[in-house]
Structure 1
């Protein structure tokens, strides 16, 4: 009987416009594994109205389902996640003043081996799916607080261009 083992899970997180998707894809290529994309990006692409709490819950369930569906495809016992649903908690708290219990329960039950928190040292790149260019410092503080609250193993990743990837790779390499 083969014992199924969960892969090491690396979550790339942080405020808007900090290079999360780029780093996640680069790390997945470097590790020769799959990258779980950000479900919310596709969900919001054609959403031509303000987000609702139901939208946030749809994105929460969508991100969970997408990640679960890609776990079996993880190679080399590693799964790279371009964000994870802690983002939903941060957005719910910011936009609606609270987070539904389903999200909080899932946070308590989930485990990621390493979080790479992308620093806000990159210039803002405008994108129709980005909402708060003036709140990056605020959200960086929120990310620190939220990661500390769940006792996450995390590293802040700074640097421009290739330096950013090299810093992310070094943090991952030390965790492997």
Structure 2
């Protein structure tokens, strides 16, 4: 029985860089909980364009998921996206970030961010909207990770190479 919170592993990076695929594969490989990307589900369920308040609702759901995950009795929990992506979303689309959000992000304990590099093919799916900004967004995410002094590693390459890199980085912190 574990007596401490699980390690928190977060995938971040531009759209269509295998975050969801890798999160699910790692969850299955290690038999740990995976917190799915909530923003995709939320936005897909809207019958209108998303608004600032929707991004706030997504952020609050991500925070609630984090708090719940911290209570799980597992070695680690995998998050398919988290608050760095949401912060850049606030900044890029609305040019502002809620004060409460910034305060939480500053104090949140993430053990490892796996930053996915946009070196694989873009796949359109009706929700994604930044095909031509992937490298720019990658740089924004990396800048934010550095700003908060988060521990992160870049995941790149094709096919199984990405999965093996992610496993290697996780094994180093376990």
TM category, shorter: over 0.9
- 1:98-117 mapped onto 2 (5 Å cutoff): 98-117=96-115
Instruction: Give 1:55 shift.
Output: 0.5
Instruction: Give 1:65 shift.
Output: 1.7
In the alignment, structure 1 segments of 5+ residues that lack a partner are: none
Identify which range, 100-109 or 40-49, moves more after superposition. 40-49
Structure 1 residues 174 and 3: alpha-carbon distance in aligned structure 2, compared to 1, 3 A threshold:
closer
Find the residue that maps to 1:88 and give its secondary structure: helix
Structure 1 residues 79 and 3: alpha-carbon distance in aligned structure 2, compared to 1, 3 A threshold:
closer
The residue number in structure 1 matching 2:54 is: 55
Number of positions where the alignment pairs a residue of Structure 1 with one of Structure 2: 174
In the alignment, structure 2 segments of 5+ residues that lack a partner are: none
- 1:71-82 mapped onto 2 (5 Å cutoff): 71-75=70-74, 77-82=75-80
Residues 123-151 of structure 1 show CA distances to partners (whole Å, capped at 9, x for unaligned) of 00001110110000110110110000000
Instruction: Give 1:172 shift.
Output: 1.0
Instruction: Give 1:88 shift.
Output: 1.4
Find the residue that maps to 1:146 and give its secondary structure: helix
Could you tell me the TM-score, scaled by structure 2's length? 0.94
The residue number in structure 1 matching 2:159 is: 161
The residue number in structure 1 matching 2:65 is: 66
Instruction: Give 1:71 shift.
Output: 3.8
Could you tell me the TM-score, scaled by structure 1's length? 0.93
The residue number in structure 1 matching 2:140 is: 142
Instruction: Give 1:49 shift.
Output: 2.5
The residue number in structure 1 matching 2:83 is: 85
Answer whether contact 2:32 2:78 (CA < 8 A) is retained: yes
Provide the aligned C-alpha RMSD in A: 1.6
Structure 1 residues 125 and 3: alpha-carbon distance in aligned structure 2, compared to 1, 3 A threshold:
closer
The residue number in structure 1 matching 2:127 is: 129
Answer whether contact 2:9 2:113 (CA < 8 A) is retained: yes
The residue number in structure 2 matching 1:174 is: 172
**Mapped partners of 1:26, 1:67: distance in 2:** 20
Find the residue that maps to 1:165 and give its secondary structure: helix
**Mapped partners of 1:70, 1:146: distance in 2:** 23
Instruction: Give 1:66 shift.
Output: 2.5
Instruction: Give 1:164 shift.
Output: 1.1
